[in-house]
Structure 1
Amino acid sequence: MFSDELLHRLAVALGIGLLIGLERGWRARDEGEGERAAGFRTFALSGLLGGICAALVPLAGALVLAAGLLAFSLAFAAFHWLEAQADQDFSATGVVAGILTFALGAYAVLGEVRVAVAAAVAVAALLALKQPLHAWLRRLTWPEIRAGLVLLAMSFLLLPLLPDRPVDPWDALNPAEIWLLAIIIAALSFVGYVAVRIIGARAGIVLLAVAGALASSTAVTLTLARMAKGRAEGAGVLAGGILLASAVMVGRVLVVTFALNPALVLPLAWPLGTAILVFLAGGGFLLLRRTGGEGEGPELTLTNPLELGVALKMAAIIAVVMLLAKLVGDRFGDTGLYVLAAVSGLADVDALTLSMARMAGSGISLEVAAGAIAIAVAVNTAVKCVMAGALGSPRLAVLVTGGSAVAIAAGAGAFLLAQG
C-alpha cells in the first residue's frame, strides 16, 4: 500500500475514533478527570490503534491484528468493570462501542473506507439516540412487538416457500407476489401508525392528518368528521385536516406506483400531482385561517397494520381485485376495468393501485391502468365527502366537498390534457 493511501486510511481511522469519542465524551462531560474509563481522547486513540494494527498485517501477519484486538478488548473491558464497580452502573454499551471503534479503525485500513465511515456514523447515531430509543421502547406494547415478529417470520420464512408463479386457471394469482404486495402496504401503513403513536393522542391537526393518512386517510376522515359534530366553530380547521389527509393519500398512491411500476407514474403524474396541489392549497388555506378554540387535536385510533390478521385481509383483497381485474378485463375490456376501479374505490385504493401497477404493460395498457387508478382515487375522495356530511356538520361537508370537487375536476382536466 502506498504511503499516501496509508496515511489517508489512518486519518480515516482516527476520524472514526474522534466521531464516536465525541458522543462518548459529551455524555461523560460532567465527570471529573480520572472518573471515567474512556472519553473523547481514548476513543480517538482506539480508532487509530485499530488502524495501526491493521497496517502491520502486511508486515507481521494477521496474528498481530488478532492479538491487538484481544489485548485492547481485555484492557478496555477491565477499566469499564472498575468504573462500573465504583458507579454501580453496569452497562456493556461502552465496551461494545470501544471494540467497534478499534474494529472500524482496522477495517478503514484493510477494507472499504466508505463502509467503515458509514458504520461509524451508524454507531455514533445509535449511541446518541439512547433516550429517544428507550422512550420508544417504553411506548411499545406486547401485541405490537408480537405482530412485527410474526410478520417478519411470515415474510422471511413463508415468502420464499410460496409459489412464485400463477396457480389459478386464469393466470392471475401469484401467491408470492400477492403476499409481497401486502407486506409493502402493511410496512408503509406502519410508518403512519408509528408516527401517530410517537406524536401522541392529543396532537395538532396538521401532524395528525399527515401521520394518520400514511396509515389510513379514511380513519383520519372518520375521526375529524366525528369531532366536527356539534362544533361548527371548528369545521374550518377540521376540513383542512381532511383535505391534507387526502393529499397524503394521493401522494402515497404515486409512491407505491413508482415503487412497483415506474413507467406507470408518467401518465399519473399530471392528474394526481395536480390533485395533490389543489388539496394542499385548500387544506393549507383552511388551516391557516384557524381561530382560537380550533386547535385541539382529536383522538385517532388506528389498527396495527402489522397484525397478521390485517395483513392476511389485505392479501385477500389484493387477490380478489387482481382476479376480478383479469376476468373483467378479458370479458368486458377497458370499460369493465373502470367499473371495477370505481367499485374498489368505495372502500380502498391500495388494492386497486397494486393490482394495476403489477398488471400494467402486461395485458393492460399503461393508459388504462392509469385511468383505473385515477377513478379509484376520485371515488374514494367522494366517499370521504359523504363521510364528512353523514358524520360531521353541514359546514364541514360543504368545505370538504368543495375542496375535493375542485381537486377531482383539476385532476380530471390534467388527465384529459395528458391523454391528448
Structure 2
Amino acid sequence: MDNVELFERLGLAIAIGAAVGVERHWRERDEPEGARTAGIRTFTMIGMAGGVAGLLERSLGAGASYPGAVIVGFLVVIAIVMAIFELREAIAQQSYSVTSVIVAILTYGLGALAVTGDMVLASAGGAALAALLAGREFLHGAIRQMRWVELRSAIILLTMTFVLLPVIPSDPVGPYGGVVPRSLVLLAITLASISFVGYIAVRTLGASRGDLVGGAIGGLVSSTGTTVEFARRSREVAGHDGRGVTSLAAGAVAAGAVSLLRTVFLIGALASSVLPQLLVPLGLSTAVMSVYAFLLARRQQGASGERSLGNPFELTAVAKMAALLTAVAFLARAATAHFGNAGLLAASAISALADVDAVAVTVAGMLPSLDMALAARAIGIAVVTNMVAKAAYAFAFGQRGFAVHVFLATLLAVGAGLAAERLQAAV
C-alpha cells in the first residue's frame, strides 16, 4: 500500500469523525464553553485516533506479538475517558444518556476500519451513524406513535428478511426449473412489505392519498402482488367502510400504471431497438391508468371519514397468496418448456400471468436474432395478458366494487394502447 492510499484512508477516518462531530456539536450548540463533553473537534480527533491506531497496527505487521493490541488499547482508553466525562456531565445536568460514549466507540472503530479494512464499508457506516444521530427526533416521535400491532408486524417482517430468508435453500425443487423455496419466501416478504408500506402510507397520509402512494410504491416491486394484496384488503374493509374500497382500487390502478412505466424503462435498457414500437401504446396506457387512479383518489378524498386500520398484514394470508403466485409461475414455466421458441407468443402470455419482467428479459436476450416485430408483439401480448390477469385476480380475491374499478381501468388502458398501436401501424 503506497503513501497516497494511506493518506486517503486516514483522511476518510478524519472525515467520519468530523461528520459525526458536526451532528453532536450542533445538538449541543447552545451549551456554554466547557459544558459540552465532546463536539466537532473531539469527535474528529476520535476518528483520527482510530485511523492512527490502524496505521500503527499496519506498521507493526504480522510480526506483532498481539495482533490488534494497539487498536484495542486505544479503544479502551477512549471509552474510559468518554465514560468519565459523560458521567460528570450527566450528574451536573441530571440527564443520563450513554449515546455519546457509544458514538465515540463507533467513530473510533470506523476510523480504524477505514485504515485497516474496507473503505466503502467504513464510509457507509459513518454515513449511517450520522443519519441515525440526526434522525433522533423522527425516531422518537415514530416510537411514541407506534402501536403494538405495527411493532409486531415490523419485527415479523425483519425476522423473515434477515433471519429466515438467508437459511432457506436456493436450489430449485421439481421439474421445469422447479420451485425455489427462497423465491417463495422472498415473494411472501414482498407481499408483506407491500401491505406494510401501504398501511404506513394510509396512517401517515390518510386513506385516499395513502393507498395511492402505497400502490405506486408497490408497483415498483410487483404490481401483480400489489393488486392481489389490495384485493384481499378490500374484502376486509368492505364490511365496515365502503369508501376504503375505492381508495384501495386507486392504489391498485396506480400500481398498474407504475408497472407499465417500469416496463418502458426495462425495455429501453435491455431492448432499446424494440422501444419505438411500444413507447406510444405503453405510454398512453400508463397515462390512462394514472388519470383513473388520480380521479378515484380525488373522489375518495372528498368523502368524509377515515378508514379504520387493522393489522398491517396477516402472515397466513400473505403465505397463501405467495404460494398461489408461485404456482402460477411454475405452470407458466412448464407451458413455456412445452411450447418452446415456436410458441413464443403463447409462452409470453402464459408467463405474464405472474410477471411481465421475465418476458421482457427473455425477449431482450433473444435479440438481435429475433424479428423486431415479433419481439414487440411478444412483449405487448405479455403486458396485455398481465393487465387482464390482474383484473381477474381482483374479481377472484377482492370486493366487487374494487374489482369493477380495476376492470374498468384495465379496459380503458388496454383499449387506448391497442388503438395507439393500430394507429401507429397505419401511419
**Taking structure 2 as the reference length, what is the TM-score of the superposition?**
0.69
Structure 2 runs not aligned, ≥5 long: 62-67, 219-224, 367-373
Would you say 1:73 and 2:79 are equivalent positions? yes
Would you say 1:40 and 2:40 are equivalent positions? yes
- Tell me, yes or no, if the aligned pair for 1:243 and 1:404 is still in contact at 8 Å: no
Superposed CA RMSD in Å reads 5.0
Would you say 1:154 and 2:164 are equivalent positions? yes
Moved more, 409-418 or 271-280: 409-418
Would you say 1:174 and 2:179 are equivalent positions? yes
- Structure 2 matches for 1:3-402, cutoff 5 A? 6-57=6-57, 63-87=69-93, 89-137=95-143, 138-139=146-147, 140-146=150-156, 148-150=158-160, 152-160=162-170, 164-168=171-175, 171-176=176-181, 179-184=182-187, 186-187=189-190, 190-197=193-200, 199-200=202-203, 203=206, 205-212=208-215, 214=218, 216-217=226-227, 219=230, 222=234, 242-243=249-250, 245-252=252-259, 271-284=281-294, 293-294=302-303, 298-299=307-308, 304=313, 307=315, 310-323=318-331, 326-327=334-335, 330=338, 351-353=354-356, 368=378, 371-381=381-391, 390-391=400-401
Q: What is the aligned length?
A: 395
Moved more, 328-337 or 53-62: 328-337
Aligned to 1:348: none
Q: State the shift of 1:125 in Å.
A: 0.7
Quick one: structure 1 residues 20 and 356, their matched pair in 2 at CA, closer, same or farther if it must change by over 3 Å?
Answer: same
Matched letter for residue 53 of structure 1: A
**1:36-87 per-position Cα deviation (integer Å, ceiling 9, x unaligned):** 4222221122112223333444556664444322222222233223334445
Structure 1 Cα separation of the partners of residues 122 and 336 of structure 2: 54
Structure 2 Cα separation of the partners of residues 328 and 15 of structure 1: 55
- Tell me, yes or no, if the aligned pair for 1:13 and 1:104 is still in contact at 8 Å: yes
Structure 2 Cα separation of the partners of residues 386 and 330 of structure 1: 28
- Tell me, yes or no, if the aligned pair for 1:201 and 1:300 is still in contact at 8 Å: no
Quick one: structure 1 residues 79 and 205, their matched pair in 2 at CA, closer, same or farther if it must change by over 3 Å?
Answer: same
Q: State the shift of 1:217 in Å.
A: 3.7
- Tell me, yes or no, if the aligned pair for 1:13 and 1:109 is still in contact at 8 Å: yes
State the identity %. Answer: 26
- Tell me, yes or no, if the aligned pair for 1:35 and 1:83 is still in contact at 8 Å: yes
SS in 2 for 1:29: coil
Quick one: structure 1 residues 97 and 373, their matched pair in 2 at CA, closer, same or farther if it must change by over 3 Å?
Answer: same
Structure 2 Cα separation of the partners of residues 318 and 419 of structure 1: 37
- Tell me, yes or no, if the aligned pair for 2:335 and 2:350 is still in contact at 8 Å: no
**1:336-365 per-position Cα deviation (integer Å, ceiling 9, x unaligned):** 6688679x5xxxxxx3557757987999x9
Matched letter for residue 42 of structure 2: T
Structure 2 Cα separation of the partners of residues 53 and 185 of structure 1: 46
Structure 2 Cα separation of the partners of residues 124 and 108 of structure 1: 16
**Taking structure 1 as the reference length, what is the TM-score of the superposition?**
0.70
Structure 2 Cα separation of the partners of residues 256 and 188 of structure 1: 20
Q: State the shift of 1:148 in Å.
A: 4.1
**1:361-381 per-position Cα deviation (integer Å, ceiling 9, x unaligned):** 999x96546524421313534
Q: State the shift of 1:19 in Å.
A: 0.6
